[in-house]
Amino acid sequence: MPDLSVELFGIRFKNPVWTASGTFGYGLEAQELYDISQLGAVVTKGISLKPRQGNEPPRIVETPCGMLNSIGLQNPGVEKFLTDIYPKIENVDTNFIVNVFGETEEEYLEVCLALESAGKIVAYELNVSCPNVKRGGMLFGHDPSLLGSLVSRIKGKVRKPVLVKLSPNVTDITEFARICVDNGADGLVLINTLLGMRIDVRRGKPFLARGMGGLSGPALLPVAVRMIWQVYEKLGDRVPLIGVGGISTWEDALEHIFAGACAVQVGTANFFDPFAPLKILKGLRSYMEEKGTERFSELVGRAHS
């Protein structure tokens, strides 16, 4: 049997197939369909300090090969997460990573600090790339000095590993990746959604109440693979890269991995096939068996050599 386990930022993951923030809730709905402890990790919906209602509907629209969303980080807030949701996931036998969002540096920090003693949460994924909120989010991800300051502040105060989820809506993602690593990030997650818009020609208005939204799904695959490739070329193995964007099949996942991803997250595919993460895991295992690959790490970055 090939070994699909991965050790990243000092944490052992049973396999490299994780779910992407905002597309899998907290894993509770999927748990009714299958045993989610088969996954390498579950990344939660973005959690903020205070509860957020999210944006006005409509906030989702289909696109060719994907979808646009402008959910606006609807979530119950970190306190309610800890009292109402955390007890339900505490005994699930896999790692949980909390996707953290704040409007200010202080808010990001407070959310992380509130989660420090929650043993099931193995790492934080800082969402500095949400295109669907007025304050915070992308503001940090698009300003090199705000980004550097946020990462080093959080790193200086928390014990758990800090991953940064990067925005693709920048000219040169490698520059933002470097800033995160220089300021102590333990891992990089790329990419978040690509800013987009659709217009309803019957009404002569944008489909989404907020106008713009984030594009996700299969359309994103080549953009995400290109960005992982570029960041891997620039930073090599200075820090683990987690690939997300357009992954629906094991072959898509392998593109991310060959480009340099040490693990992958499955997002929008969960909406059209809730079993996609398991199928991807099975496909990767069969591929390794067929090729006689003993360790998953042998596959990472292979297309660069």
The encoded tokens of residue 272 equal: 């059209």
Q: Under DSSP, is residue 8 helix (H, G, I), strand (E, B) or coil?
A: strand
User: Whole-number minimum distance, CB 215 to ligand FMN, in Å?
Assistant: 8
The encoded tokens of residue 82 equal: 């800890």
| C-beta separation of 167 from 177 below 8 A | no
Residues assigned a catalytic role? 130
Residue 71 annotated as lining a ligand binding site: yes
Q: Element (H or E) spanning 272, and its range?
A: helix 269-272
User: Whole-number minimum distance, CB 100 to ligand FMN, in Å?
Assistant: 9
CA distance 9 to 4: 16
| C-beta separation of 190 from 243 below 8 A | yes
Q: Which residues ranging from 161 to 220 are in contact with ligand FMN (CB under 6 A)?
A: 165, 192-193, 216-217, 220
CA distance 109 to 133: 19
User: Whole-number minimum distance, CB 21 to ligand FMN, in Å?
Assistant: 4
DSSP 211: B
Residue 45 annotated as lining a ligand binding site: yes
User: Whole-number minimum distance, CB 289 to ligand FMN, in Å?
Assistant: 25
Q: Which residues ranging from 69 to 128 are in contact with ligand FMN (CB under 6 A)?
A: 69, 71, 73, 99, 127
Q: Does 244 bind ligand FMN (CB under 6 A)?
A: yes
Please, what's the b/e burial string for 160-170 (b: 16 or more CB within 10 A of its CB; e: otherwise)? bbbbbbbbbbb
Q: Which residue has the tokens 């704040």?
A: 102
158 vs 223, which CB is nearer to ligand FMN? Answer: 223
Q: Which residues ranging from 267 to 296 are in contact with ligand FMN (CB under 6 A)?
A: 267-269
Strands 199-200 and 241-244: unpaired
Contact stretch for ligand FMN (CB under 6 A) within 68-76, 87-95, 115-123, 291-299: 68-76
Q: Which residues ranging from 2 to 31 are in contact with ligand FMN (CB under 6 A)?
A: 20-23
Contact stretch for ligand FMN (CB under 6 A) within 30-38, 149-157, 173-181, 243-251: 243-251
**Contacts with ligand FMN, residue ranges (CB under 6 A):** 20-23, 45-46, 69, 71, 73, 99, 127, 130, 165, 192-193, 216-217, 220, 244-247, 267-269
